[in-house]
Every structure is written in structure tokens, then in C-alpha cells.
Amino acid sequence: MAARILIVEDNEANLELMNYLLEMAGYIVLTATDGELGVAKARAERPDLILCDVQMPKMDGYDVAKTLKADKLMKATPLIAVTALAMVGDRDRILAAGFDGYLPKPITPKTFVSEIEAFLPPELHAATPPFRE
């Protein structure tokens, strides 16, 4: 069964890009447009994996990580930062804040889905991904 993936991203275009790539790969996508909504949706929907921007209004990615990783029910859920914070040191800072993975923007469309799948157990991979290169 394909995983349910929550995308927390305030930029519409980028939210749409990830949504499109994941849906085309056969995943069920949930979305939230800021950190607060993201945390609420994560708790309500219990997705299999969360992609989260870092710079966002209301609650930034660091606080989302802090909140979810302190939540007994949520801390096992893979939390991956997809961020335009791509300077030297950003990766370490973000992983230290509790994220399980780090993908810098701009993402590479061809490899994006497989990079996400690395964080999912095989049984949650989409059955017949329409695109593999």
C-alpha cells in the first residue's frame, strides 16, 4: 500500500511541484501551508512520512521538528526537510534540530521520489511508479 505523505510548505509553486511528483509516483499526498497547520494535520492524519519546509510563517520547520519529535505518537514518523537553506552548515543545523533527512532546493525532479522512498519501508513504496530512470 502506497504511503500517505504530508507536505508542509508555504510556497504554493513548490508545494504543487512536490505534490505533483509524489502523486504521479502513486503516493497519497496531504498538504499544509504553515508549521502550525502542519503539526495539527500530522497529529490528526498520522501520515507515514512528512516533508517540511524550514522557513515558514507562524511556526518554522525547527519548531515543527521540536514539537513532533517530542510527541510520543509522532516521533517515529520520518521527517524530511526540503529547504532553500543550502549554505554550508545548514544541513548540520537542520539534522541537529531533529529532522531525519535533508533535501536542498532546488530539488532534482528525476531523483526526488527515490530520495524520499529511501525513508520508507518497501511495503509502503508505491506499487507501480509510472516513472523510473
Partner 1 sequence: MRKFGALLLGDSPDAVIATTPAGEVLYWSPAAEAIFGYSCSEALGKSMQDLIVPPERRIDEQLIVHGEPPGRTSTYESYCRRKDGSLVYVDVTSKRMRDAQRGEYILTTKKDVTQLKVLRDAKLVEAKFGNLLESTPDGIVIASPTGLIVLANSQVEALFGYERGELRGKLVEMLLPERFRSGHVGHRSKFFSQPRTRSMGAGLELYGLRKDGAEFPLEISLSPLETDAGTLVMSAIRNITDRKKAEQKFRGLLESAPDAIVIVDVRGDIVLVNSQTVKLFGYTRDELLGNRIEMLVPPRFRDRHPGNRAEFFVNPKVRSMGEGLELFGLRKDGTEFPVEISLSPLETEEGRLVSSAIRDITERKRFEQALQEKNVELENANLAKDRFLATMSHELRTPLNAIIGFTGTLLMRLPGPLTPDQDKQLTTVQSSARHLLTLINDLLDLARIEAGKVELHLEPVACQSVLEEAATFLRPQAQKKELSFDLSMPRDNVVVQTDKRALSQIVLNLTNNAIKFTERGGVHLRLSTGDAGSIVISVSDTGVGIRPEDQAKIFEAFSQVGSSSRRRREGTGLGLHLSQALAALLGGHITFESQYGSGSTFTLLLHGA
Count of residues that bind partner 1 according to CB under 8 A: 24
| CA–CA dist 36, 8 (Å, integer) | 9
Q: Does 96 bind partner 1 (CB under 8 A)?
A: no
| CA–CA dist 79, 69 (Å, integer) | 9
Q: Does 73 bind partner 1 (CB under 8 A)?
A: no
| CA–CA dist 68, 16 (Å, integer) | 24
Q: Does 55 bind partner 1 (CB under 8 A)?
A: yes
Q: DSSP labels for 3-38? A: PEEEEE-S-HHHHHHHHHHHHHTT-EEEEESSHHHH
Q: Which is nearer to partner 1, 48 or 53 (CB)?
A: 53
| CB of 109 vs partner 1, minimal distance in Å | 3
Q: Does 130 bind partner 1 (CB under 8 A)?
A: yes
Q: Which stretch in 37-45, 56-64, 103-111, 116-124 sits in contact with partner 1 by CB under 8 A?
A: 103-111
Q: Pick from 52, 51, 55: which is nearest to 85 by CA?
A: 55
Residue ranges that bind partner 1, judged by CB under 8 A: 11, 13-14, 16-17, 20-21, 24, 55, 84-88, 104-110, 130-131, 133
